[in-house]
Amino acid sequence: MGKKFFYLDTENLSFNEIKNIRLKVFVFVLLIVVFSLGFLFALNYFTGDILGFGKVRAEKLQSENNLLKKQLEVLREKFNQVESIVAKLLEQDRELRLAVDLKPIDEDIKKVGVGGVEKKYEFNFSDKEVGELLAESFSKIERLERELRLQQKSYEEIYRQYKTNQEKFKRIPAILPLKGSLTSKFGYRKHPILGVWAMHEGVDLVVDVGTPVYATGDGVVSYVGYRGRYGLLVEIDHGFGYVTLYAHLSKAFVKEGQKVKRGDKIALSGATGLVTAPHLHYEVWKDGVPQNPLNYFFEDIEPDKYKELVQEASNN
């Protein structure tokens, strides 16, 4: 006679026979599996991981932890290399600022911009070394970010100043207005006609009437016309506080408001105004103060020579 299996009917509080043999087998197997698993886990718990389940996991975590350490060490070395590069950039920044006529960044401003408020990072890792390496990495990232932001602002300022200088250099009077002999220099002298000592606010270049006169720098013509002892004159506003004046002309080729470039022909020399002989009177003013034009002649380059140099530069 075969074994019989029963199940508990909780509703009627009675045991009923399981008559379906497949169901009997399934229930029997299920009970064995549940009992076995329960026994294994209980044994693992009470015997201190005798089956090695936790050991495998611990070994895996330890391996991952060691790999993380190595990666953080490599990252720290990379940060050190980047810090060295940024330090060199900060050193070069001073030279670049001086090259474009900018003051170096004040050390106090640099300390505030680069130093900032140090944020303390803490990571609760079981491995203390990993936490320290990660905190150090985050601190270096923050410091490098501040340094690069300061450097970016400085480079932007340097670039703006460089562009301004490029425009300024084109406008500064820097060549002779014509080819002629210097007869009267800048400074106090006895006036050849009036016979009194007075300030000569420019230089006189002796030439024949009709000699071409050229603009000595880029600018805008601010005046064309007759003005007392100067006779016919052309005045050019170069910006940045610079103004040049060309007097005793016989003819002007430009009009007020016209833009001119260095080397453009603007007039012909003459003998208008209060003069004893044909010549060009040339003045340079900076911020309303007369300057010695001789200080603005770049190696006494004449207009024709200047044009040759410009042509050579464009060909190269």
On whether the CB atoms of residues 270 and 231 are closer than 8 A, the answer is: yes
CA distances, 35 to each of 51, 53, 222 (Å): 17, 19, 107
Query: Does 176 fall in a domain?
Result: no
Higher pLDDT, residue 60 or 23 = 60
Using the predicted structure, report yes or no on whether residue 264 has a pLDDT greater than 70. Answer: yes
Segment 102-125 mean pLDDT = 62
Predicted pLDDT of residue 201: 83
**Quick one: 300 and 250 in the same domain?**
yes
Predicted pLDDT of residue 222: 97
Using the predicted structure, report yes or no on whether residue 300 has a pLDDT greater than 80. Answer: no
Label residue 265 by pLDDT band (50, 70, 90). Answer: very high
Q: Of 126, 153, 171, which marks where a domain is finished?
A: 171
**Quick one: 102 and 165 in the same domain?**
yes
Of 39-43, 49-53, 96-100, 134-138, the one with minimum mean pLDDT is 49-53
Q: What residues pair up with 282 in beta bridges, in sequence order?
A: 203, 246
Three-state DSSP state, 141: helix
CA distances, 296 to each of 72, 121, 195, 261 (Å): 61, 60, 29, 16
**Quick one: 120 and 84 in the same domain?**
yes
Give the Cα separation of 248 and 211 in Å (integer).
Answer: 12
Segment 223-230 mean pLDDT = 94
Domain extent, residue 107, equals 53-171
Q: Which residue has the tokens 């029963």?
A: 6
Q: How many domains does the chain have?
A: 3
CA distances, 148 to each of 105, 113, 154, 155, 206 (Å): 14, 10, 10, 10, 58
Three-state DSSP state, 302: coil
Of 96-105, 164-173, 306-315, the one with minimum mean pLDDT is 306-315
Q: Of 144, 171, 198, which marks where a domain is finished?
A: 171
Q: Of 171, 201, 228, which marks where a domain is finished?
A: 171
Q: What is the mean pLDDT of the chain?
A: 77
Higher pLDDT, residue 20 or 142 = 142
CA distances, 1 to each of 4, 5, 27, 266 (Å): 9, 13, 20, 133
Predicted pLDDT of residue 156: 87
Query: Does 158 fall in a domain?
Result: yes
**Quick one: 256 and 188 in the same domain?**
yes
Of 88-92, 115-119, 135-139, 163-167, the one with minimum mean pLDDT is 115-119
Q: Which residues of 264-279 are buried (b: 16+ CB within 10 A; e: fewer)?
A: bebbbbbebbebeebb
Segment 179-185 mean pLDDT = 81
Higher pLDDT, residue 242 or 159 = 242
On whether the CB atoms of residues 246 and 224 are closer than 8 A, the answer is: no
Higher pLDDT, residue 271 or 4 = 271
Query: Does 160 fall in a domain?
Result: yes
Q: What angle do CA 121, 122, 125 make, to 5 degrees?
A: 145
| DSSP letter, residue 103 | P
